[in-house]
Chain A
């Protein structure tokens, strides 16, 4: 177990090096971007010396790591604002949105997968297969545009833009989360419900389930057994999905104008704010690695046979 955690840490460290190198391979010096094209060579040199940009890459990386515990990611070159403060504002917004999408995806996938498995090769199963194929093929950002047009603009059921703060009532808050969360979740409902179906069908074919059925155990109870035993294979894929959803959130937040990591990253990209890009992508990658790790731990917890592997 400890080795699994250690591997994750090593991977995170390697990824941080990769990201660090990438942001420093840029064609334009940050000094030129901040000071403008008119800056003299002396000014550029001064800027680079102040921020340690004239040192070798390993030196720069060591300095960056050394500064992490004390001053976090430091300040943006462009705005001068603390990157940590920026992330403290935007990460919770994205985290909440992704969590909402995750709950929607899991609930939808488990329900549909269970129905499909219990009606194997009959019409509900076929219908769900077609629906899941559709869900896998709809680009989330197009779905978002359609949902805004229909439910926010035409019907006026939910606000078309942004997230209503919790202070204005939890109902409004939840309603404003619904459309963006659904835009992210649909793809994963399609992907996960197929896995769920396969897992439940496998469990239903096991001897102990057949025996229970033959003994006349109620259908609801059989379904519960099946569900309990079908969930473990779903856990690792679900964990991975949670991490992937942060990527989609970048695009969906843009459509709904939500001030999360998306705005932080896309603004940083247009301003060529390299330290900010680096920090945002590193945080999202850490989320991805963490959610995979959490899924692994959870899987060991519910499946004792894996505990000593």
Chain B
């Protein structure tokens, strides 16, 4: 830790802190540019960009009404009027895909945001208080929650509490919010375990001892010094989970426990298509599945490129689902 050693000698406290923090930031400087420089990262960014833009701009795009039932147009193949065809109730599939992107992306991103904040908090706490009771308790909690198979528990918990909205004090939580919190929490143990390993190494480093000598508080060291230095590898792990979050949301909607009809969702559209497996209307099942696939592979490409750029030594973590 040569930078840290050098930094210990430098007298003015705020300046040192800034120097120390820069190590993590420097690694992330120009990440977007370097991401785009890897072929796979450029493709990922482009794909996610297009899907994201479509989701954000959905209300202003020249689309049919995604909820409008037009029985005279039911199950029309792709054509000039309905570019991707219509479903069993005569609704425009393209419009439903674009509107469905909103839920999928929002749920994918929010679950990972919750998982990442929770994982960082628990992991850094356990790592910073290594060798104390705090570490033992937190690691025990991680162990218990890591023994929970994510998908089954998500299905069961939504199943137990029902798909309606839940009142929590003054807040009324719709089913989507429930799913976001639930899946986000289920992401926590895996990310906390990785954050713990990284934070443990940082907490033992000289610069943390130096900061303590400078009189920096516990929270300031955890949030200001350790966090920026372990953020890069954590972002790599988190980026892979976005795709998994999207797939879990689609899976829950597919079995009727996720986004509730008539709100369009990719998983829900696939559920509608299940009854058509034996008939000739191939387009009903093809497009929503393709949309999930494209969005997920976009995030996976970004994750893969992020790993090359930010964290080249670390190995694949294996399946998280």
Partner-B contacts on A (CB < 8 A): 7-8, 11-12, 14-15, 18-19, 22-23, 25-27, 133-134, 136-139, 141-142, 145-146, 148-149, 153, 160, 187-188, 191-192, 194-195, 198, 237, 240-241, 243-244, 246-248, 250-251, 254-255, 265-266, 268-269, 274, 277, 280-281, 284-285, 288-289, 292
Q: Is the CB of B160 within 8 A of A246?
A: no
Cα A247 to Cα B148 in complex, Å, equals: 11
Residue B99 interfacial (CB < 8 Å): no
Q: Is the CB of B156 within 8 A of A269?
A: yes
Residue B289 interfacial (CB < 8 Å): yes
Within 8 A of A (CB), among B273-321: 273-274, 277-278, 282, 285-286, 288-289, 292-293, 296-297, 300-301, 304, 315-316, 318-319, 321
**Inter-chain contacts of B321 with A (CB < 8 A):** 187, 244, 247-248
Q: Is the CB of B144 within 8 A of A145?
A: no
Residue B128 interfacial (CB < 8 Å): no
Residue B51 interfacial (CB < 8 Å): no
Could you list 15 further interchain pairs (A-B, Cβ under 8 angstroms) beyond the known A133-B304, A288-B148?
Answer: A14-B144, A27-B162, A133-B300, A133-B301, A136-B297, A136-B300, A137-B297, A145-B277, A149-B285, A187-B321, A191-B316, A240-B318, A247-B152, A269-B155, A281-B153
Q: Evaluate whether A244 and B156 lie within 8 angstroms (CB atoms) in the complex, with A7-B143, A289-B147 already known.
A: no
Q: Evaluate whether A195 and B316 lie within 8 angstroms (CB atoms) in the complex, with A142-B285, A266-B255 already known.
A: yes
Q: Is the CB of B319 within 8 A of A285?
A: no
Q: Is the CB of B278 within 8 A of A142?
A: no
Residue B247 interfacial (CB < 8 Å): yes
Within 8 A of A (CB), among B243-283: 243, 247, 250-251, 254-255, 257, 270, 273-274, 277-278, 282
Say how far B173's CB is from chain A's closest CB, in angstroms: 12
Q: Is the CB of B255 within 8 A of A277?
A: no
Nearest 9 CB-CB pairs, A to B?
Answer: A247-B151, A142-B289, A269-B159, A137-B297, A237-B318, A191-B319, A137-B296, A288-B149, A281-B156
Closest to B270 in A: A142
Cα A274 to Cα B143 in complex, Å, equals: 26
Q: Is the interface of A mostly helix, strand, loop or mixed?
A: helix
**Inter-chain contacts of B147 with A (CB < 8 A):** 8, 11-12, 15, 285, 288-289, 292
**Inter-chain contacts of A11 with B (CB < 8 A):** 143-144, 147
Residue B150 interfacial (CB < 8 Å): yes
Cα A268 to Cα B257 in complex, Å, equals: 13
Q: Is the interface of B mostly helix, strand, loop or mixed?
A: helix
Q: Is the CB of A153 within 8 A of B151?
A: no
Partner-A contacts on B (CB < 8 A): 143-144, 147-153, 155-157, 159-162, 166, 243, 247, 250-251, 254-255, 257, 270, 273-274, 277-278, 282, 285-286, 288-289, 292-293, 296-297, 300-301, 304, 315-316, 318-319, 321
Q: Evaluate whether A255 and B274 lie within 8 angstroms (CB atoms) in the complex, with A133-B300, A269-B156 already known.
A: yes
Q: Is the CB of B278 within 8 A of A153?
A: yes
Q: Is the CB of B161 within 8 A of A26?
A: yes
**Inter-chain contacts of B159 with A (CB < 8 A):** 265-266, 268-269, 277
Cα A289 to Cα B162 in complex, Å, equals: 27
**Inter-chain contacts of B304 with A (CB < 8 A):** 133
**Inter-chain contacts of A240 with B (CB < 8 A):** 318-319
Can you show 19 pairs from A to B with CB atoms below 8 A apart? A15-B144, A22-B156, A22-B160, A23-B160, A25-B161, A141-B270, A146-B285, A146-B286, A149-B282, A160-B277, A191-B316, A198-B315, A243-B149, A247-B155, A247-B321, A251-B251, A269-B257, A277-B156, A285-B147
Say how far B195's CB is from chain A's closest CB, in angstroms: 19
**Inter-chain contacts of B153 with A (CB < 8 A):** 281, 285
Q: Is the CB of A192 within 8 A of B318?
A: yes
Cα A241 to Cα B270 in complex, Å, equals: 25
Of A138, A247, A268, which is in contact with the most chain B CB atoms at under 10 Å from its CB?
Answer: A247
Cα A269 to Cα B196 in complex, Å, equals: 36
Q: Is the CB of A27 within 8 A of B161?
A: yes
Cα A18 to Cα B286 in complex, Å, equals: 39
Q: Evaluate whether A277 and B160 lie within 8 angstroms (CB atoms) in the complex, with A198-B316, A240-B319, A250-B155 already known.
A: yes
